[in-house]
Amino acid sequence: MKTPGAVILLAVAAVLVLGAGAPALQAASGEEPAFGGDCVMGLALGKDIHTDCSVNTVYNGTKYCFGNETAKMLFLKRPDDFLLQAHIYYSSREGAAEAERQ
């Protein structure tokens, strides 16, 4: 039997695989997005999915981008958990890039 967290993670993975190229449904504001415009849910799953940030939300004063509306809706159910996962992956990715430069 799968835990609720595993079920959500599988659902997010399916959304990203099936819907990463879905048309954007929301206009972006002029604010600079976090993570360089990468999809927060993609980062939370350890994937690099760059977006045009037309699907976005502002959470705690920061703009976050998504590959599609479903990813955004899942994020809004547990934003702090997904942001923690996204920050961990993004930081490790940045650390690896810096190590390669040295």
pLDDT digits (tens, 9 = 90+) for 57-102: 999 999 999 999 999 999 999 999 999 999 999 999 877 777 777 7
Report CA 7 to chain centroid distance, whole Å: 17
Collapse the DSSP code of 66 into the 3-class scheme (helix H, G, I; strand E, B; otherwise coil) and give the result.
Answer: strand
Residue entry with tokens 């159910």: 77
Res 28: pLDDT: 38
**Alpha-carbon distance 101 to 28, whole Å?**
33
Q: Which residues pair with 2 in a beta bridge?
A: none
Domain range holding 36? 4-101
Specify the DSSP class assigned to residue 47.
-
Res 56: pLDDT: 97
- Determine contact, residues 67/32, Cβ cutoff 8 Å: no
Res 2: pLDDT: 54
- Determine contact, residues 76/83, Cβ cutoff 8 Å: no
Res 3: pLDDT: 59
- Residues 13-69: pLDDT tens digits? 544 444 443 333 333 345 799 999 999 999 999 999 999 999 999 999 999 999 999
Per the structure, the count of domains in the chain is 1
Res 93: pLDDT: 83
